[in-house]
Amino acid sequence: MASLATRFVNSTAQHIFLTGKAGTGKTTFLRSLGGLTHKRHLIVAPTGIAALNAKGVTIHSQFLLPFGAFIPERTLPDDIADYGRFHDRDTLNRRHPLNALRRSVLAALDLLIIDEVSMLRADLLDAIDHRLRNVKREYHVPFGGVQLLFIGDLFQLPPVIKDEEWSVLRRWYDAPHFFASLALKQAGYVHIELDKIFRQRDERFIGILNNLRNNTVTEQDVAELNRHYRPNKEGDGRDGVITLTTHNHTADALNQQAMDRLKGKAYRYEARVVGDFPESMYPVQSELELKVGAQVMFVRNDADKAYFNGKLARVTEVDKEDVTVEMVEEGTSYKLKREVWENKRYMLDPVTKEQEEEVLGTFEQYPIKLAWAITVHKSQGLTFDRAVI
């Protein structure tokens, strides 16, 4: 199915929604597509962390969109007077115009790839549509004729929308999700689903997960899950147990308590931040505190496959310069290397007219975080052997 999606991208101008459960290869497809398509493309995502993971930029940054709700009209209706929270086409043009750099990049664009599309709001997609029609001067063609590739899983994180925003937006939209966009309804799209799960090989467990996902759990499923239930299992990190919480402050408190229980000297490792890299985009803590025995989790995939996003490890050696961990599952030792994340923007070479990337700033830190506890949201797409919920 991934090869089919590639053919659709390269051979048609149709918009595509590529979806699939966790572990079916959506991220792998995204990372390989750049070398498989001749089309000039951008990768964007709704949030800073999602954009970093996709090696792209945020939607708001690329399209210079203000925060708040977008009303798909030329001007706001008379009963909506709050220009701070609601924007229309005219306010985008007059108060938030595109600069020359972004305009040139969008003018040359063939393909727009939007990752983590479950979080994309319908009104935000219509704001993108307005920008592209203006830049391309194709005012009557959805998205100005640019092909869109949506990647994500609608069973994952939904769009964030305030009640007061939705009470207004529901006049134009029947749902807050991207597929309710007026421009996308006009244009239509092809739906491609990746259905082979590579992350799990246990067919019975895959079946249970699918039933949980679809809210069709059977008595047999519950009985099978209960066979693996272990009461009074404390998530103290002694055996790779991880606690899933609903709030960041709870996870932070549990991690700090576990750290305080460890004996030995604590070492602190400062991130190296160069240039423009907003704090809101930091993928891990700028100051990482570690002791021998600390349970940690990797937050990105290693090019050499030594670790992956969500893999658990235990710190075995620390000093001022180096950190060594032992992988919880295999028991293998690994000396950590600092990883570099880039905050970048797209630009167009004025001579060659080729699309280029400009790195605005970098963030360098060990790709781990304390992991006796994490939030349910941050566990999305990850796999754990033992968990406390």
Question: What is the rounded distance in angstroms from the CA atom of residue 52 to the CA atom of residue 40?
Answer: 20
Q: Which domain holds residue 380?
A: 241-388
Question: What is the rounded distance in angstroms from the CA atom of residue 363 to the CA atom of residue 361?
Answer: 7
Looking at the fold, whether 52 and 169 belong to one and the same domain comes out as yes
Domain boundary among 194, 229, 261: 194
Do the domain assignments include residue 153?
A: yes
In the chain, count H helices and then E strands: 12, 21
pTM over the 0.75 mark: yes
Looking at the fold, whether 96 and 186 belong to one and the same domain comes out as yes
- Max Cα separation, the chain? 67
CATH for 88: 3.40.50
Domain boundary among 194, 221, 252: 194
Looking at the fold, whether 251 and 332 belong to one and the same domain comes out as yes
Q: Each residue of 72-109: pLDDT tens digit?
A: 999 888 877 665 688 999 989 988 999 998 999 999 99
Looking at the fold, whether 309 and 378 belong to one and the same domain comes out as yes
- Nearest 5 degrees, angle CA 191-CA 195-CA 200? 150
Do the domain assignments include residue 328?
A: yes
Q: Which residues have C-beta within 8 Å of that of residue 242, sequence separation ≥ 6?
A: 235, 295, 297, 312, 371, 372, 373, 374, 384, 386, 387, 388
- Nearest 5 degrees, angle CA 125-CA 34-CA 138? 40
Q: How many domains does the chain have?
A: 2
Question: What is the rounded distance in angstroms from the CA atom of residue 153 to the CA atom of residue 370?
Answer: 27
Q: Each residue of 280-330: pLDDT tens digit?
A: 889 899 999 999 999 999 988 887 878 888 889 999 999 988 999 999 888
Q: Each residue of 325-372: pLDDT tens digit?
A: 999 888 899 999 999 999 988 887 777 777 788 899 999 999 999 999
Do the domain assignments include residue 378?
A: yes
Question: What is the rounded distance in angstroms from the CA atom of residue 382 to the CA atom of residue 376?
Answer: 10
